[in-house]
Amino acid sequence: MPKDDLNPRQKAAAEKIDGPLLIIAWAWTWKTKTLTSRIANILKSWTESRQICALTFTNKAGNEMKERVEKLLFDWMSEEELQNVNIELPFIWTFHSFCLRILRTTIEEIWFKSNFAIYDTSDQLAAMKLVFQKMELDSKKYNPKIFLNRIWNYKNVNMDPDWVLQNFWNSEKLTGEIYKEYQKILKENNALDFDDILFFTVKIFQEFPQIREKFSNRYKYILVDEYQDTNHIQYLFIKMLAEKHKNICVVWDSDQSIYSFRWADIWNILSFEKDFSGAEIVRLEQNYRSTMKILKAADQVISNNTWRYQKNMFSELWEWEKIKVIKVRWEKEEANEIAEIIRTKMWENFETKLSDFAILYRTNAQSRAIEEALVKNWITYKIIWWIKFYARKEIKDILAYLKFIYSPQDSVSLLRIINVPARKIGWTTIAKMQNYAWQRTLSIWELVNHVDTIEGLSAAAKKNISAFSEIISELRKEQKTTVLSDFIDSVIEKSWYLAMLKKDDDLESKNRIDNLKELKSVAQKFDNLWEEWLWKFLEEVALVADVDSIENWENAVLLMTLHSSKWLEFKNVFIAWVEEWIFPSSRSEEDGDIEEERRLAYVWITRAKENLYLLHTWSRLLYWQFQNNPPSRFLGEISEDLADVENKDFYKNNFSGGNNFRKKKEEWDW
């Protein structure tokens, strides 16, 4: 192996090329560097990149890994050797992007067309509303979102509608019927929801052994990062993909498994050791990011969990301050304390940047007071939450045009845009078209093209629908002769969308126009692809995650939820709302999820590189009610030598540590 700066354990994992390998890597132990070094070693052994499949959970992580691999090969190899290594093809994927590649060439086996659309959350809800209309269900009595969530659960454990109907009764029987109708609607629209991407890939692998064997033969080396976050459907997919060569490497940390609400299954690791017997195990325990005080605190908290691999994490970094536990009276004081500490640290060291600070909390609703304090103190911040660029109305509208142009069966996208901008095509007209289409098993687009045949529509409505049909037909022709960024311009212009925004001529409309310009900028990198640019662009948009949009914000403090922070690190980290019934949550003890809550605590402690601040209040206003919650039990699990805690005896006397905590809220005497 070429000279590098890997430690002996990292080097052992990087040099192990053949056979199953389990890398147990705790927080910031250079697992990504180890994994990329291993990929580079595989490529250096003259393996083509087309034989490698490395799977991650975010596009951001995948892109960073590929850049590291390319740099390692450039550093290690001569120009002559580099010419023999092909790394042009993508070989590092997210689970969904890799499965999409498989589905584009295989989905016709289950009677979909290869130009299928991908539905996001709002599209799925629109499809579910169509289900409710067809089944004549009252949305006031039955919540469509609840049924979407149940369907999501079933797909992630590989249960199809027929299985649900055969094995469940009572209320779940209705879920099964809705599930079946929902899948039928998707099929009619030639569309997949996000969970179908993995669900259908596994279905095809199970029902068509020749396809499974083809891909298992092709990919000689499988690597999986963040294996503790995989759910059952992902486990099945990995197992089938690696069944031929069994050269599989997974990176796993039981203490960072915090996604059980997404059906992440910590027991997948037990199945791995059983499915790939004789797997070599390498432990990475040296942390290269956080100080030893922070690591010890994280270890003291997580050691109260029962099911986990024991570890001996250590760091050689110079010690900074103790962890600060700050008790204040109410949330405004908590927020002001955070703002004051940031201002003080910026004043003490002019090299300190705002991006060196992160403020974490349990849910997005908890950021209000903190934002107000930052604004009052003239501190620039960036909040990372669910309202993403691609979720903005104007972006979704133009994307709906693009999706419908690409996939004419996509009635959900059609219904979104047929009267946007307003074309005097009202909901009464649309409802008549829907019923007419359902009665004759036609798509709505087929009716749009033959609107004169629909009985009961006024002459004005038919004229307006025909005008819309002409716009789409013209854009479809243009799609074949122009590049993507110019085509987006045409869609915005010829759909009258730009005219609608310019007509309002206010600040909001100008911001929306700027957002559309940004969409065009994103699209420009696809301009050199003439045949596949539209579906590749739509796929990238569909698969983008919150964390993918986080860049190096040099002039902003980052605010985000604890779950969103998992892949990130900061010099200074503030954790707000560290209180019982919030963190851990009030439901965690009832549901038996205290161990996952403690793993979440381990994650947020190890986000800090140098300084960690844990804050709790005597009283706070939440959802229009005052709460007086005791401090989190996790604070009582950190020893005195690691943390400066006000009234430390209070914690020691009132917290037994771990699962034995049973005090009721009304028993606390403040």
Residues designated catalytic: 31-32, 225-226, 256, 607
Instruction: Write down the residue that tokens 């209070």 correspond to.
Output: 650
Mark out the alpha helices in 161-222 (DSSP H runs): 161-167, 171-188, 196-207, 209-218
Rg (C-alpha) for the chain, rounded Å, is 27
Quick one: tokens of 347?
A: 């004043």
The Cα–Cα gap between 451 and 463 comes to: 9
DSSP letters for 506-517: SHHHHHHHHHHH
Q: Cα separation of 411 and 429, whole Å?
A: 15
Task: Tell me whether strands 21-25 and 280-284 are parallel, antiparallel or unpaired.
Answer: parallel
How far is 491 from 471, CA to CA, in rounded Å?
9
Q: How far is CA 465 from the centre of its chain?
A: 38
CA atoms within 13 A on the CB side of 652: 8
- The two tokens of residue 229 are 């976050």
> What is the rounded CA–CA span in Å between residue 221 and residue 219?
6
Question: Strand pairing of 608-617 and 570-575?
Answer: parallel
Rounded to the nearest 5 degrees, what angle is found at the Cα of 364, between the Cα atoms of 360 and 368? 85
Calpha distance 638→657 (Å, rounded): 10
Largest CA distance in the chain: 81
Is the N-terminal amide bond of 584 cis, ω within 30° of 0?
Answer: yes
How many residues appear in the chain?
670
How far apart, in whole angstroms, are the C-alpha atoms of residue 185 and residue 169? Answer: 23
Nearest residue to 294 (alpha-carbon basis) of 598, 568, 645, 639 = 639
End-to-end CA, the chain = 62
Stretch (H or E) spanning 571: strand 570-575
